[in-house]
Amino acid sequence: MQIEKNKVVSITYTLRDALTPDEIIQEVNENEPLVFLFGAGQLLPKFEEHLSGKTQGDSYGFTLAHLDAYGPMEPEALIDVPIDVFMVDGKLAEDMLVVGGQVRLRDQEGRLLQGTVLSRGLESVKIDFNHPMAGKDLIFSGVITSVREATEEEIAHGHVHGPGGHHH
């Protein structure tokens, strides 16, 4: 069965940065494959484009330019956040302010944002709210481990149910 819209696809993959191809960023193996509803907008469009038409057992390998992946690094996503935002019960939450650490904050509209602490000053913390893969050309390789028809319920809900998917 070929991969096409509304098929449930399971894959393994290895992700690498094109600048450091010998280093693995992320690896998903056959014990816990990535399972998704093809064409439901859950993955990068160009990623899905490279898998379209493949069948169970096929291997794949391709590079996504950063513009087709998570976009360029946006300088306006580097924000100086007032240090008092990190006050909890009158004390500075030191554990949140580790350079290289991840923080979760809400913007003025209440949306959850995740960022990386770049530096800490006396009055502010510089946080990078770019996606961690922004600006990177990404190399993917892996194997299609299974392809099946999606159920009507999975199509209606826009995601996979059962093993590897969502459980209601």
Q: What is the pTM of this model?
A: 0.82
168 residues of the chain, pLDDT tens digit each: 999 999 999 999 999 999 999 999 999 999 999 999 999 999 999 999 999 999 999 999 999 999 999 999 999 999 999 999 999 899 988 888 999 999 999 888 989 999 999 999 999 999 999 999 999 999 999 999 999 999 999 999 999 997 666 655
- Here the CATH number for the domain that contains residue 148 is 3.10.50.40
CA neighbor of 142 nearest in space, from 4, 3, 1: 3
- Here the CATH number for the domain that contains residue 90 is 2.40.10
Contacts of 120 (CB under 8 A, 6+ apart): 83, 97, 99, 126
Q: Please, what's the b/e burial string for 117-140 (b: 16 or more CB within 10 A of its CB; e: otherwise)? A: beebeeeebbbbbbeebbbbbbbb
Number of independent structural domains in the chain: 2
Provide the residue range defining the domain that includes 54. 7-70+135-157
Asked, for residue 164, whether it belongs to a domain, the answer is no
